[in-house]
Amino acid sequence: MNSENRVLYLDLLRGFAIFGILISNLPVIAEPPFGMKINHTDLSKLFTSLGYFFVTGKFFLIFSFVFGYGFTILLNSSETKGFDTKRIFFRRLLGLLLLGILHACFFFNGDILITYSLLGVFLYKSKDASLSDILKMSLYSWIVSALFYGIIGLLIHYGSKEDPALTKTLTDQSIQGYLGNFTTATLQRLKEIKLTFPFIILFNWPSAFCLFLVGLWMGRQNTLNDPNTFFQRFSGYWIYIFVLGVISNSLFVWVNLESISYLSDFFTGASLAIGGVSFALLYCYGLLKFSESQHYLLRGLKSAMASVGSMSLTNYLLHSILLAFIFNGWGLGYYAKLPPEKYMFLVFPIYGFNLIFSSLWKKYFSMGPFEFVLRKFTYR
């Protein structure tokens, strides 16, 4: 795979991850994320289950891997051009942190940019570690992620079984705040950060850092110069990876829909650590085969997805802006009024907009608008 195709595959990974992150974030923006179901039907349970099974805990892993791999490209590029690598990278992290704070305050308090900016500090400190040490740190992070997923399973059990009154209070406050004006929605978002940020730490931090390190490990070896060689290592094991992913993700769906006991909820919650990695690996392999396709119907889609990926920061922020307008009271005001089987169909027009907007933008500009702002901040 030449340099151009390698960049195309990375952009496809980003573009595909952005699609999955949109699906994952949509329920959190569309209705209160505290476990109380409003306007849900039996069909809602099916849509929710499919989301847990195929999406939750998978796509941000892919995006985290690309962040880690892209870090090695940034290091090499900065050193080749004679830049102060440490200064460049830390200014980039600071830029992401500032954008993340604005994003979390005004549009979506489930922001991931703050996480990436803070964990990026530890990624930089790991850059000179040996390849074996990087793998060990990645394994330790993966084990911690399983432990934290199990803790989330316990919290789900507590919320649904032990304190339904608290769940109702939080839900009512959320609806009232988000269906008000821009100020009340912002204040409610800020109020909920004390709940959402600890959840993000438990759910995202160990897993994201694990994949940061995997990306660093593969980037140090230029693995994506020939990704087929890397995936050939799993030849003969794909069926086992698939079965393992199906079982572990099914267990994770179970804990979110049928809370039974603290012990069962801990272990079924922890199963996402296996299910997320299994399906993320399968998705990456499938996307590689997609990137190699020369079918004329797929070439246009491949190019558009790569454009989305090359503007991943812009498209990620656009998702939150558009969805906040659709669901908040200062916009269309659909918050907590639509069941999952209705609001999930918003994925198609919004991602379709990403595909068209990104393709047109890239015809005239080399980078997206928020990428341009971040680059200017990084390099002054």
Q: Note the pLDDT tens digit of each residue in 131-168.
A: 999 999 999 999 999 999 999 888 876 665 556 777 78
DSSP assignment of 228-294 equals: HHHHGGGTTTHHHHHHHHHHHHHHHHHHHH----HHHHHHHHHTHHHHHHHHHHHHHHHHHHHHH--
Residue 299 is predicted with a pLDDT of: 87
Question: Tokens 């500032």 map to which residue?
Answer: 98
Residue 3 is predicted with a pLDDT of: 46
Asked if the model's pLDDT at residue 13 lies above 80, the reply is yes
Q: Please check whether residue 363 lies inside any domain of the structure.
A: no
Q: How far apart are the first and last CA of the chain?
A: 34
Q: Please check whether residue 313 lies inside any domain of the structure.
A: no
Residue 1 is predicted with a pLDDT of: 46
> Tokens representing 369?
């608008």
Q: Please check whether residue 275 lies inside any domain of the structure.
A: yes
Average pLDDT over residues 308-325: 97
Q: Please check whether residue 163 lies inside any domain of the structure.
A: yes
Verdict on whether the full-model pTM lies above 0.75: yes
290 with 11: CB under 8 angstroms? no
359 with 307: CB under 8 angstroms? yes
Q: Work out the mean pLDDT of the chain and round it to a whole number.
A: 92
Could you tell me which of 358, 372, 374, 370 has the C-alpha nearest to residue 12?
Answer: 358
pLDDT tier at 56 (50, 70, 90 boundaries)? very high
**Residue type at 98 in one-letter notation:** L
Distances (CA, A) of 278 to 42, 52, 138, 144: 28, 14, 15, 17
Could you tell me which of 159, 156, 191 has the C-alpha nearest to residue 173?
Answer: 191
Total domains, the chain: 1
Residue 248 is predicted with a pLDDT of: 96
Residue 261 is predicted with a pLDDT of: 77
Report the C-alpha dihedral over residues 161, 203, 113, 76, rounded to 10 degrees.
180
Q: Please check whether residue 15 lies inside any domain of the structure.
A: no
Asked if the model's pLDDT at residue 16 lies above 70, the reply is yes
Q: Please check whether residue 242 lies inside any domain of the structure.
A: yes
Residue 104 is predicted with a pLDDT of: 97
Asked if the model's pLDDT at residue 253 lies above 70, the reply is yes
Distances (CA, A) of 112 to 4, 63, 301, 320: 28, 10, 26, 12
153 with 270: CB under 8 angstroms? yes
Helix/strand/coil for 111: coil
Q: Please check whether residue 13 lies inside any domain of the structure.
A: no
pLDDT tier at 59 (50, 70, 90 boundaries)? very high
Asked if the model's pLDDT at residue 368 lies above 50, the reply is yes
Percent of the chain past pLDDT 70, that is, above it, reads 96
DSSP assignment of 145-205 equals: HHHHHHHHHHHHHIIIII-HHHHHHHHHHHHHHHTS-HHHHHHHHHHHHHHHHHHHHHHTH
Average pLDDT over residues 266-274: 94
Asked if the model's pLDDT at residue 196 lies above 70, the reply is yes
Higher-pLDDT residue of 257 and 183 is: 183
Q: Please check whether residue 273 lies inside any domain of the structure.
A: yes
* DSSP character at residue 337: T
pLDDT tier at 206 (50, 70, 90 boundaries)? very high
Of 17-31, 75-89, 224-238, 320-334, the poorest mean pLDDT is in: 75-89
User: In terms of residue numbers, what domain contains 100?
Assistant: 31-295
pLDDT tier at 49 (50, 70, 90 boundaries)? very high
> Tokens representing 338?
């639509």
Higher-pLDDT residue of 251 and 78 is: 251
Residue 8 is predicted with a pLDDT of: 82
